[in-house]
Structure 1
Amino acid sequence: MKLCFLANADSIHSYRWIKHFAEKGHVIEWITLTPPNSSFAMDGIKLHLLKGHFLFNVNKIKKILKEIQPDILHSHYAGLYGLFGALCDFHPFVLTVWGSDVLLTIKSIVKKPLIIYSLKRADVITCDAVSMQKLLIKLNIEASKIKIIYFGVDTETSRRPLTNEPTSEGADRTETPIVISLRRLNPIYNVETLIRTIPFVLKAKPDITFIVAGNGTEEIRLKKMTELLGIPSNVQFIGWIDHKDIPRYLNKADIYVSTSLTDTTSVSLLEAMWSGAIPIITDLIPNRELITDGENGFIVPVKNPQVLAKKILFCLNNPKIIEQIRRANIKKIDESYNWQKEMGKMETIYKQLL
């Protein structure tokens, strides 16, 4: 197949998806507004970098599509790229929604009609949460064209061995407990709540290390906050990390924390579940699709440092229960959120559209 994608070229989620189909031998054309991340290998992918005014780019995309004659046009993210795809009037047209592109923009009286227009123009829409599927139906999108495809986990990556399993490369551990956050340092991910949680935890267990990955608009403020709270020696801000390095960090972590204010199916949460890090996440509907409180992780109220601290300490003080949670999550990921299986489902959808 010849597949043409409209998507940001600096996004790891777009890249993983598109690179998968390039490696499967399909002809790939990628139209984007952003240069690719320098760490992305672009073998087998032809990139078309757009510049200029919105209307100019619509015409440019139409011209590219006429020249390359793809079998399928696929937009990732229902905002600008979804609108580009819809306005090009090319079919079959697939649109993948990511979450915030719908959850946030439908609150805008200006953007909501544009999002709905793009959704209605698509022949197939994919999303990665049942809650998102229900929301799309509430927006009067035809249910039969909405498919759930998860941004799953590559289960071939290393993970921490369970009890009675041999140790593996990349699963090295430290004696000091580690709590990790992998969300970007932007207001929507509310990493401030984790920072405010740390003093409560350190009162009971002063030898814990908190790793805060990612970058964003809140980075300087959060670093200053750790200074004001007197906890800089326990917090490591490690910045943006390459996706290929995430398993190495997760394999060392005891607990994964996400304090996000809104979400769909979080890829970093899925990766944490596979690695064996115990998830403690905020009480959001998509999170409840993945985690049953007390069974395979823990759900905490939004913006509640005291409750989050109690859950972190509970995990560190109950190793037998934690081992059960790890086993449950590894099984869940392998059965339902396996990257290769999900992309296999997507390839079937592509073929059905031809």
Structure 2
Amino acid sequence: MFIKILHTESSPGWGGQENRILNESIGLQKLGAKVYILCQPESKLAEKAKEAGIEVFTSPMRKSFDLKAIYNTARLINKLNIDVVNTHSGKDSYIGGFAGKLSKKTPLIVRTRHLALPITSTFSYKYLSDFVVTVSEYVRQYLIQKGIPEKKVFAVPTGIDLEKFNPGKVKGTLKKELGLNQDTPLIATVAVLRKKKGHHILIEAIPYVLKKFPEAVFVFVGEGPQRKNIEEKIKRHGLSKNVIMLGHREDIPQILSSIDLFVLPTLQEALGTSFIEAMAMGKPVIGSNIDGVREVIDNGLNGYLVPPEAPVVLAEKIIDLLSNRGKAKEFGVHGREKVENKYTIEKMCNGMLEVYLKHLKKL
């Protein structure tokens, strides 16, 4: 069945949410759908989607009840003869939802929930959406607890590109770039520099690790509002030689190929795509025993789950995997297997298409 899908996104930035929208759009077009994206002018998503060959429309979305944006979106839905409007953030979920209800076409309205943050209103989920997709079972259960009907909420986990994150094809060059010996333990964290990502917890754990592995090097990949605080904390702990801030990088597969261990003691996570990417590269992972992270990490099989805000325990698990290379390699093998079985772009896109078609038949 050929369908036309319009993804809407009011966030101008770039992160895991926007990356999923782009990957879904590319994947769904490969499956035969026609996909369009409506987003803010000058947004990163617009730029990357155009590069990927997705047809993009832009419109300012200043607030949730932006009448001009609602009118323009309704016109676009009619003009393109859209079957499915898939909204993603707060503003565009209201704009896209109202536009869909007011348009002549009256398409299926889908709301994707990407975050583990508490919701402030259930209106767009209950009344503007025909059904809701979540990126993990954890988020699905949270929405059901908030009163969204269970039959209306579906979990379709985020998937990644296994060719892009292919340990057999991607060569790691980070140790050479940093002037490190190949046997130097290298541990990475890839995440936006926000408080909830737990960089401060890892910094507290690092001195314990250095007592056992004084040559170990930790790299923080990403940018964000906590950069200055993190840099100051690194200096206060005397860790400037062992912790390197790499900033934003486009070569994440190459970085993950270079490391011995991936660690992210996050305090809030809908799923944890960065864990999935590291696992796809055959790396052992350590994360907090919270939220959607529990769905990704099988404790003692592909990585370790540690209590949140427990730097001593975190250090012990890092030391364990740096000390037991055979176990670390085994964890990496199991991690890659899990990603291949559950977290691919193909599985994500087939899941989305299945849910779309199931509900379109009911209209």
1:43 is the counterpart of 2:49: no
Other-structure match for 2:6: 4
Which residue number in structure 2 is paired with residue 56 of structure 1?
Answer: 68
Residue aligned with 2:349, SS: helix
Partner of 1:336: 342
Secondary structure in structure 2 of the residue aligned to 1:233: coil
Q: Does residue 98 of the first structure (1) align with residue 114 of the second (2)?
A: yes
SS in 2 for 1:144: helix
How many Å apart are 1:22 and its aligned residue? 4.1
Q: Distance in 1 between matches of 2:279 and 2:294?
A: 14
Deviation for aligned residue 1:192: 1.1
Which structure 2 residues correspond to residues 135-154 of structure 1 after superposition, within 5 A? 135-154=142-161
Farther off after superposition, 41-50 or 326-335: 41-50
Alpha-carbon offset, residue 45 of structure 1: 1.5
Letter aligned with residue 94 of structure 1: V
Q: Counterpart in 2 of 1:212?
A: 220
Q: In structure 1, what is the equivalent of residue 178 of structure 2?
A: none
Does residue 202 of structure 1 match 2:210? yes
Amino acid at match of 1:235: V
CA pair 256-34 structure 1, distance change in 2 beyond 3 A: farther
1:108 alignment counterpart: none
In structure 2, what is the Cα distance between the partners aligned to 1:310 and 1:29?
A: 48
- Structure-2 separation of matches of 1:153 and 1:216: 23
- Counterpart of 1:165? none
Partner Cα distance (1:256, 1:125) in 2:
32
Alpha-carbon deviation of 1:151? 1.1
State, as a whole percentage, how many aligned pairs show the same letter. Answer: 21
| TM-score, scaled relative to structure 1 | 0.87
Is 1:124 matched with 2:131? yes
Shift of the alpha carbon at 1:301? 1.6
- CA spacing shift, 1:251–1:119, aligned 2, 3 Å: farther
Match of residue 309 from structure 2: 303
Are the equivalent residues in 2 in contact too, given 1:283–1:300 (CA < 8 A)? yes
* C-alpha displacement of 1:51: 5.0
Q: Is the 8 A contact 1:158 1:171 kept in 2?
A: no
Offset of 1:125 from its aligned partner?
1.4
For residue 267 of structure 1, report the CA deviation from its aligned partner. Answer: 0.9
**What residue in structure 2 maps to residue 176 of structure 1?**
184
Equivalent residue for 2:353, pick from 343, 347, 350: 347
Q: How far apart in 1 are the matches of 2:343 and 2:245?
A: 29
More deviation in 254-263 or 21-30? Answer: 21-30
2:96 maps to: 85
For residues 75 and 344 of structure 2, the distance between their equivalents in structure 1, rounded to whole angstroms, comes to: 37
- Separation of aligned partners in 1, 2:308 and 2:62: 41
Residue identity in the other structure for 2:171: G
Take 2:158 and 2:354, find their aligned partners in 1: how far apart are those partners?
Answer: 16
- Is the alpha carbon distance of 1:51 and 1:342 closer, same or farther for their aligned partners in structure 2, counting shifts above 3 Å? closer
| Aligned residues: CA RMSD | 2.2
- Measured in 2, the distance between the counterparts of 1:227 and 1:39 equals 36
Q: Normalising by structure 2, report the TM-score.
A: 0.85
Aligned residue runs from structure 1 range 274-293, under 5 A? 274-293=280-299
SS of aligned partner of 1:195? helix
Structure-2 residue corresponding to 1:261: 267
How has the CA–CA distance of structure 1 residues 286 and 55 changed in structure 2, closer, same or farther, with 3 Å as cutoff?
same
* Deviation (angstroms), 1:227: 1.5
**1:296-323 Cα deviation digits (max 9, x unpaired):** 2111121221111111111000112222
Residue in 2 that maps onto 1:228: 236
